[in-house]
């Protein structure tokens, strides 16, 4: 059986990650400003150790940032966490839990296995360590332990005496937050409004980077409706709308090379989106 690949999340303290994400919000596309801001959070430490060795890889593995070097910036999920965290600590955690649960569900499945299997948590951890690809058992254990620590700090797992179990109340809240059915009817309206606002901001250039519209739509859903739309959900919802209708045509632009977080549609990967309105009055 092919072993799972679980990356090592070196900076897994959620409160620290919140602070680091604020630096990314303050200094998008500004590596120097970003580096200085982050190093202030880690007194007297080296750029290589903290910035390049811990923060960047961890945030990238969690899908919270995009780009390299001067292009480093928040992803839509990262931006959503920052917006929610500004509202309150609990709201920040609420969004973080949704993002973590989505990753766990896709790659690791600790939460599902903990619910499903009526076995001791340590046994579950041991069986996971055997199933993941890592240079050594020590490394595999470290990867699982860091992931478990994040789930504990997020409150999705709870420690009772020496046992770990699922925080059922919180998890049902996360499941509610990740329920896409409540978002379908609002999606089209929000999507076209955000497209229009980015279009105007770009001085009427119709071709928009998909990461930008993801960020705009996910933020709008949260601020207007208090709904969490993750990047994965955005992509699913976008795939669900008509690309050609009586009043508009949506075109997608291919990526020039290997890039991050491309939009997958009908087995192809796209980086940009543009909309031609046939009867502008109708839609906007």
Partner DNA sequence: GCGTATGCTAGACGCATCGA
Partner DNA sequence: TCGATGCGTCTAGCATACGC
Residues in touch with DNA (CB under 7 A): 7-8, 10, 13, 31, 42, 45-46, 48-54, 56-57, 60-61, 68-69, 72, 134-136, 138-139, 141-142, 145-146, 149
174 three-state secondary structure: helix
Residues in the chain: 284
The nearest distance, CB 140 to DNA, in angstroms, is 9
Q: Which residues pair with 274 in a beta bridge?
A: 251
Coil, helix or strand for 56?
Answer: helix
CB of 230 to DNA, least distance (A): 20
SS3 5: coil
DSSP for 156-203, written as a single string = SEEEETTEEEE-HHHHHHHHHHT-GGGTHHHHHHHHHHHHHHHHHHTT
The nearer residue to DNA, 33 or 240, going by C-beta atoms, is: 33
Please provide residue 25's backbone torsions phi and psi, each rounded to the nearest 5 degrees.
Answer: -70, -40
Name the minimum Å distance from CB 138 to DNA. Answer: 6
Least distance from DNA to the Cβ atom of residue 43, Å: 8
127: region left, alpha or beta (phi > 0 left; psi from -120 to 50 alpha): alpha
Identify which of residues 60 and 265 has a Cβ nearer to DNA in the complex.
60
Which residue, among 76, 79, 57, has the nearest Cα to 9 in the 3D structure?
57
Least spacing, CB of residue 63 vs DNA, in Å: 11
Closest CB 98 distance from DNA, rounded Å:
23
Chain centre to alpha carbon of residue 92: 13
Query: Rounded to whole angstroms, how far apart are CA atoms 222 and 93?
Result: 14
Interstrand relation of 268-277 and 208-209 (parallel, antiparallel or unpaired): antiparallel
Q: Nearer Cβ to DNA, position 53 or 236?
A: 53
Q: Measured in Å, how far apart are the chain's first and last C-alpha atoms?
A: 52
């Amino acid at each position: 059986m092919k072993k799972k690949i679980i990356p090592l999340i070196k900076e897994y303290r959620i409160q620290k990650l919140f602070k680091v994400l604020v630096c990314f919000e303050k200094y998008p596309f500004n590596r120097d400003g970003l580096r200085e801001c982050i190093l202030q959070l880690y007194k007297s430490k080296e750029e290589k150790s903290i910035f390049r060795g811990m923060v960047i890889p961890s945030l990238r593995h969690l899908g919270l940032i995009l780009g390299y070097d001067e292009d480093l910036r928040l992803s839509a999920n990262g931006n959503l966490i920052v917006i929610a965290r500004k509202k309150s600590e609990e709201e920040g955690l609420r969004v973080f839990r949704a993002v973590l649960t989505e990753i766990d569900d896709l790659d690791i499945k600790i939460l599902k296995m903990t619910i499903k299997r009526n076995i001791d948590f340590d046994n579950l951890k041991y069986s996971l360590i055997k199933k993941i690809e890592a240079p050594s058992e020590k490394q595999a254990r470290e990867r699982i332990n860091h992931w478990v620590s994040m789930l504990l700090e997020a409150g999705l797992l709870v420690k009772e005496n020496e046992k770990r179990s699922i925080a059922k109340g919180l998890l049902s809240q996360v499941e509610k937050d990740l329920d896409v059915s409540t978002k379908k009817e609002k999606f089209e309206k929000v999507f076209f409004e955000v497209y229009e606002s980015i279009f105007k901001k770009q001085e009427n250039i119709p071709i928009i980077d998909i990461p930008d519209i993801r960020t705009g739509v996910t933020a709008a859903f949260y601020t207007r409706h208090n709904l969490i739309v993750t990047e994965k959900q955005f992509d699913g919802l976008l795939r669900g709308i008509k690309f050609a209708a009586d009043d508009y045509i949506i075109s997608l632009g291919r990526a020039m090379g290997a890039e991050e977080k491309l939009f997958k549609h009908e087995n192809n990967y796209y980086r940009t989106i543009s909309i031609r309105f046939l009867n502008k009055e109708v839609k906007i």
